[in-house]
C-alpha cells in the first residue's frame, strides 16, 4: 500500500483540538489556529480563543500573525532562486558582497567586558549562513558572553531596531563569532545576513524583492514586513510568558504590526496568515511549483531539504544545546529548514524526511513529503519553548492518519 493511499480520520482530530483548547482555557495561550492539509487539500482547521483576550476578539481564519523565524525558509528560498540564476555558488565567501564581515574574530575566552579572541581562520560562506554554521548567535539566548555582546550592540534581541540592514552588517562585523565557521551548529542571525545578500545581489530592497519574486507569484496577499493599516482589526496582540511577567502578558498591541520596520529582518521580520503560509508550504511539497508558478527546481528544493550537517549528524551533536525552533535530537539541518533524520531519537510520529521550522511567538509549520501532509500552526506567545506545543501537534495530527476504510 502506498503512503498516498493513507487518509485522515476526521473524528480523531478532536484529540489535538482538545489539547490546544486546554492551553487556551488554562490561560497559557491567547488563541490558536491550526490547519492541516493532505495532498494539498485542507483536512482539518481549528480556530479557538482570542487575538485580544481583554477585548474578546476571536481568532478567525484571516487573522494576521507575527511569524518571526518562519520568515527564514521564505528568505532562504529567495536566496536559492538567485543561486539557480547563477549569481553565486554555495561555497562563495559572503565578503564578496558584504565586506563589512571581513576580518572577523572568533571568541576564545574571557568575559563580555574583556573578551579574548583570535582571527577567524575560515571565511564565512553562503552555505555556512544557510545551515546556521557560520558562528553567529542571537542576543536573546542569554547562554554565552557573546550573546551579551550582541545585546549591547542591540543585535538579535527583541528590542525593535532603530537601524537598517546595512547598519546591522556593520555591527555584526564588530562582534566576535561564537565558533570557527563550519565547526558547530548555532541558531543565529545568519538568515538576516542571507537577507542582506538578497538585497545586494538583486539590487532591490529585501521587502520589494520578496514581494515581487515570492509573495505576489504565490498569491500570499496578507504576508509582508508589516500589515496594511486597513488590516489592523485582523492583527493579533503579542503575548509573552517570561520571568517577572504573569503568564500570557500582553507586550505589544495589534497595531504595532502595521508599522513599517527600519530593519528588514530576513530571519524574523514577516507577518502573515495561516492560509498564506499554507501556500508556501504547498509550493515546497510540490517540488517548487504551485498552481502553474515555479519558483525553484525540484532538484534545488531536494538539496535544501537534505541534512547538510557534517557526517550526517543532528543539531544536538553539533554543539548548541540552548535554543532552537525545533526539538534538536534526531533533527538535521538543510538550507533553511530543520530536517528529521531519526524519528526514534526525536520521539515523533512524523516521517523521516519531514522538514520544518517555527517562530518565536510559538508558531510552527512542517512539510512531510512521505505522507504529503502539511501543517501550519499559529498563536502569539513568546518565547516558543514555554510549552511543548510542537510535540503535541505531531502526536495529535499523525495519530489521526490511518489506512483506507
Does residue 339 form part of some domain? yes
Does residue 317 form part of some domain? yes
CATH of the domain at 311: 3.40.710.10
pLDDT at 319: 66
pLDDT at 322: 59
Q: Is 233 found in the same domain as 109?
A: no
Query: Which residue bears the cell 504565490?
Result: 218
pLDDT at 370: 95
Q: Is 235 found in the same domain as 280?
A: yes
Mean pLDDT split into 10-residue runs, the chain, 405 residues: 68 97 98 97 97 98 98 98 98 98 97 98 98 96 95 94 97 98 96 98 98 98 98 98 92 97 98 98 98 98 97 84 70 96 94 97 97 97 95 97 69
Q: Is 383 found in the same domain as 340?
A: yes
Q: Is 144 found in the same domain as 47?
A: no
Does residue 381 form part of some domain? yes
Domain boundary among 145, 168, 202: 202
Q: How many whole angstroms separate alpha carbon 217 and alpha carbon 168?
A: 29
Q: Is 181 found in the same domain as 228?
A: no
Q: Is 130 found in the same domain as 29?
A: no
Q: Is 165 found in the same domain as 24?
A: no
pLDDT at 405: 46
C-alpha cell at 181: 565557521
CA-based torsion, 127, 131, 134, 140: positive or negative: positive
Are 108 and 117 in contact by the 8 Å Cβ rule? The answer is: yes
Q: Is 363 found in the same domain as 309?
A: yes
Q: Is 116 found in the same domain as 239?
A: no
Domain boundary among 174, 202, 230: 202
CATH of the domain at 104: 1.20.58
Does residue 276 form part of some domain? yes
pLDDT at 2: 45
pLDDT at 325: 62
Q: Which domain holds residue 135?
A: 80-202
Q: How many whole angstroms separate alpha carbon 244 and alpha carbon 355?
A: 35
pLDDT at 233: 97
Does residue 217 form part of some domain? no
pLDDT at 323: 61
Are 325 and 358 in contact by the 8 Å Cβ rule? The answer is: yes
Q: How many whole angstroms separate alpha carbon 374 and alpha carbon 397?
A: 10
Does residue 131 form part of some domain? yes
Contacts (Cβ under 8 Å, ≥6 apart) of 85? none
Does residue 52 form part of some domain? yes
Q: Is 121 found in the same domain as 46?
A: no
Q: Which residues of 261-299 are buried (b: 16+ CB within 10 A; e: fewer)?
A: eebbbbbbbbbbbbbbbbbbbbbbbbbbebeeeebbeee
Q: Is 92 found in the same domain as 69?
A: no
Does residue 207 form part of some domain? no
Q: Is 61 found in the same domain as 152?
A: no
Q: How many whole angstroms separate alpha carbon 72 and alpha carbon 333?
A: 13
pLDDT at 402: 84
The number of folded domains in the chain is 2
Cα-Cα end-to-end distance for the chain: 13
Amino acid at each position: 500500500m502506498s503512503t498516498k493511499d493513507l487518509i485522515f480520520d476526521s473524528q480523531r482530530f478532536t484529540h489535538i483540538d482538545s489539547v490546544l483548547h486546554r492551553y487556551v482555557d488554562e490561560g497559557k495561550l491567547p488563541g490558536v489556529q491550526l490547519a492541516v492539509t493532505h495532498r494539498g487539500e485542507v483536512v482539518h482547521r481549528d480556530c479557538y480563543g482570542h487575538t485580544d483576550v481583554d477585548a474578546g476578539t476571536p481568532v478567525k481564519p484571516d487573522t494576521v500573525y507575527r511569524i518571526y523565524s518562519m520568515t527564514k525558509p521564505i528568505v532562504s528560498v529567495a536566496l536559492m532562486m538567485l543561486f539557480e540564476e547563477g549569481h553565486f555558488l554555495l561555497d562563495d565567501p559572503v565578503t564578496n558582497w558584504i565586506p563589512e564581515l571581513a576580518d572577523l574574530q572568533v571568541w576564545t575566552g574571557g568575559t563580555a567586558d574583556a573578551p579574548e579572541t583570535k582571527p577567524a581562520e575560515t571565511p564565512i560562506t553562503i552555505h555556512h549562513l544557510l545551515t546556521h554554521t557560520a558562528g553567529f548567535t542571537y542576543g536573546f539566548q542569554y547562554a554565552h558572553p557573546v550573546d551579551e555582546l550582541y545585546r549591547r550592540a542591540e543585535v538579535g534581541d527583541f528590542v525593535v531596531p532603530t537601524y537598517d540592514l546595512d547598519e546591522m552588517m556593520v555591527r555584526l562585523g564588530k562582534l566576535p563569532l561564537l565558533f570557527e565557521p563550519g565547526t558547530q551548529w548555532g541558531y543565529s542571525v545568519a538568515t538576516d545576513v542571507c537577507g542582506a545578500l538578497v538585497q545586494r545581489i538583486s539590487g532591490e530592497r529585501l521587502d520589494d524583492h520578496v514581494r515581487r519574486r515570492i509573495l505576489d507569484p504565490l498569491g500570499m496577499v496578507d504576508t509582508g514586513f508589516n500589515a496594511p493599516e486597513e488590516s489592523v482589526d485582523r492583527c493579533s496582540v503579542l503575548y509573552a510568558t517570561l520571568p517577572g511577567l504573569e503568564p500570557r502578558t500582553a507586550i505589544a498591541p495589534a497595531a504595532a504590526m502595521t508599522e513599517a520596520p527600519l530593519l528588514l529582518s530576513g530571519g524574523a521580520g514577516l507577518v502573515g496568515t495561516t492560509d498564506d503560509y499554507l501556500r508556501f508550504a504547498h509550493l515546497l511539497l510540490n517540488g517548487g511549483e504551485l498552481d502553474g508558478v515555479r519558483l525553484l527546481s525540484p532538484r534545488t528544493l531536494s538539496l535544501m531539504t537534505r541534512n547538510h550537517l557534517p557526517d550526517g549528524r543532528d543539531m544536538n551533536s553539533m554543539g548548541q544545546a540552548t535554543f532552537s525552533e525545533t526539538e534538536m535530537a534526531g533533527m538535521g539541518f538543510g538550507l533553511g529548514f530543520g530536517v528529521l533524520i531519526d524519528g526514534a531519537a526525536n520521539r515523533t510520529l512524523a516521517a523521516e524526511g519531514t522538514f520544518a521550522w517555527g517562530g518565536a511567538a510559538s508558531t510552527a509549520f512542517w512539510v512531510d513529503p512521505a505522507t504529503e501532509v502539511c501543517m501550519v500552526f499559529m498563536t502569539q506567545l513568546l518565547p516558543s519553548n514555554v510549552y511543548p506545543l510542537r510535540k503535541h501537534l505531531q502526536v495529535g495530527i499523525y495519530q489521526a492518519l490511518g489506512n483506507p476504510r
